[in-house]
Amino acid sequence: MTTYSSRNEVPLHEKWNLTDIYADHCKWEEDYVLIEKLAEKLKHYDGKIHDGNSLYQYLKQSEELSFVLNKLYAYAMLKVDENTRETKAQSYLERAKQLSVRVSSAISFFMPFLLSLDEETLKGYIESEDGLEYFKEDLLESYRYKAHVLTKEQEEVLSQLGEALSAPSHTFGMINNADIKFGEVTGDNGEKVELTRGMYSKLIEDEDREKRRESYKAYYQPYMQLKNSIASTLSAAIKNNVTMARIRHYPSALEKALFGDKVPKEVYENLIQTAKNHIAPLHRYTRIRKEKLKVDELRQYDMSVPLVSGVKQVIPYEEAFGMMINALSPLGENYLSILNEFKDGRYIDVRETPGKRSGAYNLGVYGVHPFILLNHQDDLDSLFTLVHECGHGVHSMLSSEHQPQINARYSIFVAEVASTVNEVLLINYLLNNEKDAEIRKHLLNHFIDQFKGTFFTQVMFAEFEMKTHEMAEKGIPLNVEVFNQTYESLFREYNGDEIVFDDEVKFGWSRIPHFYRPFYVYKYATGFASAIHLATKILEGDQTTLHSYLEFLKSGSSDYPLELLKKTGVDLTTPFPIENSLKKFGVLVEEFSKL
């Protein structure tokens, strides 16, 4: 595995090229001034929109502002993520956030104004001004929010609270990425070294049980030390969600979170219930794990180690990229040429370096191209991560190319479909091209663990969010004890009774960044279930599904997520897609137990 002690050591072709957004900082500063001017200009429309033409002029300039602000913000964020310890980059991001709040404040009059018009007047404006046809769907969609928009003055106050309301998330991000110091583990030469996240993801899969135990304890050490601080940030984030839902007259925080995607809360509840109805294969897999590892007591630090020993595949980045190209060939030549463009054009930031943001993501920048952050470790997990994020990247690219700015950004709800279809195609390719029986078992084991992590674990997280928000809505105080009890009981319910709980288990909630984006994680599970269905059809050679899937990738947010999925043959308002994917899980566990 290649490790780098600083970003300067990483070869140029493995670092993204942010000059594609701004050639230099001067251009960033120029856009900063431009946005200030545009925001001021938009503010002057308050009380002055009286016909179709003035409405069109406002919307056109508003879209221009949003285009520039998106670029400016993305650049600052990507710079910070290269090195979260770099104070100069932090100040750019801080300024971008403040500017964003000022823009929100300047345009906060618009939604109350729009909803004060009766629908017939608005339709009259649209008919009288050709340019408004472009904005028509968005304007009429706004009426869906009528019951949840406040007066002009109240909206202005709320927009100014934006930065304060995001403080819990920001604080947790700082604790989790910049400040956290993990405990020490024993290095290869017998000396103590400080654990890093990259090391942890390796060590928790190590065949040496003592190494796993040591890294597990060291990893959870800071979270347990900071338990009260982190409980305070999470509690504040949940209370903010509940308060905002009340202020905006939603029945609950959950329904507020689902409203934008027009997802009925039954879809969320159905997901949790269906997963629980089909939990038996997961419990069976836990029992197989205990038997295979030959342990008297199965512990949480035994849950990630591959069950097929001696199969440590080293997959360098170049090789991983080639495997991805081969695995995704069923998606066609155009898809593959976009992937090659990602590599040749330096859209991907590959290596882990000190201070770099952990994890992986794709950020589509409209009018530029996607940027992908990785922390590549030359192993099977990293291959899957590459394939996953490139799925998001191609989705961003195709939606930007085929949709106007207004519809180019797709909902998170459909995002996970694009990434997971790629993962299913990859596992299929790897299994089909592997003759070695041990490696085949290893791959099957890996996919079962992947399924467990992307589906069952996310459903468990989704239920944790639902329960904690419901408590806050009932006025039950949220603290370390409440979070611990809730998390521990759910962990037991999902993972079965075979596991002996260390004290660390119940602190699992304290390390999850996604809890600061309310009711987000369930989309991984619905996306995963949808993707299993689609990838299976594509692999069967179903050309209709392949065509409708590629159209889906081009469709951005041109329709509501559930409707976009229905066009590909996936209907999430019924339990069938979830049940079908869970049947697949049962088959995988069955096959693995026979091997």
DSSP string of 254-318?
A: HHHHHHTTT--HHHHHHHHHHHHHT-HHHHHHHHHHHHHHT-SSB-GGGSSS-SSTT------HH
Query: Is residue 82 a contact partner of residue 98, using CB atoms and an 8 Å limit?
Result: no
Q: Among residues 467, 488, 390, 405, which one has the least CA distance to residue 60?
A: 405
> Between 457-473 and 265-277, two packed helices, what is the crossing angle to 10 degrees?
130
Tokens linked to 212? 């796993």
Interatomic CA distance for residues 152 and 498, integer angstroms: 56
**Burial tier of 135 (Cβ tally within 10 Å: 0-12, 13-18, 19+):** buried
* Phi, psi dihedral angles at 474 (to 5 degrees): -90, 0
Tokens linked to 542? 């179903």
Q: How far apart are the first and last CA of the chain?
A: 30
Residue 389 falls in the annotated catalytic set: yes
Interatomic CA distance for residues 137 and 399, integer angstroms: 18
Cβ neighbours of residue 295 under 8 Å, at least 6 residues apart?
209, 302
User: Checking DSSP bridges between strand 370-376 and strand 184-186, what pairing results, if any?
Assistant: unpaired
The order of strands in the sheet holding 348-351 is 348-351, 370-376, 361-364
Query: Is residue 357 a contact partner of residue 180, using CB atoms and an 8 Å limit?
Result: no
Tokens linked to 49? 């929109």
Q: Report DSSP state, residue 499.
A: B
Active-site pick, 14, 156, 389, 504: 389
Could you give the residue numbers annotated as active site? 389
